[in-house]
Amino acid sequence: MALLEIGDGAPDFRTVDQDGEPVKLSDLRGKKVVLYFYPKDDTPGCTKEACSFRDAWSAFRKRKIEVLGVSAQDEKSHRKFAEKFSFLFRDTATTEKKIVQAYGVWGEKSLYGRKFMGTNRVTYLIDEKGKIAAVWPKVKPEDHARDVLAAAG
């Protein structure tokens, strides 16, 4: 499945965060939402990216922008990752892969010559009406939150 494009409606979803609390995208309508997809909890690139959102957390809060991390691990893995690095944003579970498939970020990857299926590092900015406002198909993990903040205005 292809990535969503600017102007597309953001597919609604229902899941849980690292604390087992329900998360439903349509409940966030009226706010900008950063939906950032990453491959795996507590790996080098994913940790850099998540820490960039952690470090910019107050700027996102001031602008009333919700930040949701999404990967295919379960809530227990997300909780351990969030506690280890003191994340304040919500990290959501998609163990059945419905969300990553709906957003076109599930696909073939290659590591050390081995091919496998996994979550690609992609970020969407969703506007207050539930439409895709920006897409980052290629992400530099350590600077990413700053780039998203600049685009969110």
Question: Which residues are within 8 A (CB) of 97 and not within 5 positions of it... i.e. 6 or more apart?
Answer: 72, 106
The distance between the two most distant Cα atoms of the chain, rounded to a whole number of Å, is 44
Q: Please state the separation of Cα 87 from the chain's center in Å.
A: 13
Catalytic annotation, residues: 46
Task: Report d(CA 41, CA 128) in Å as an integer.
Answer: 28
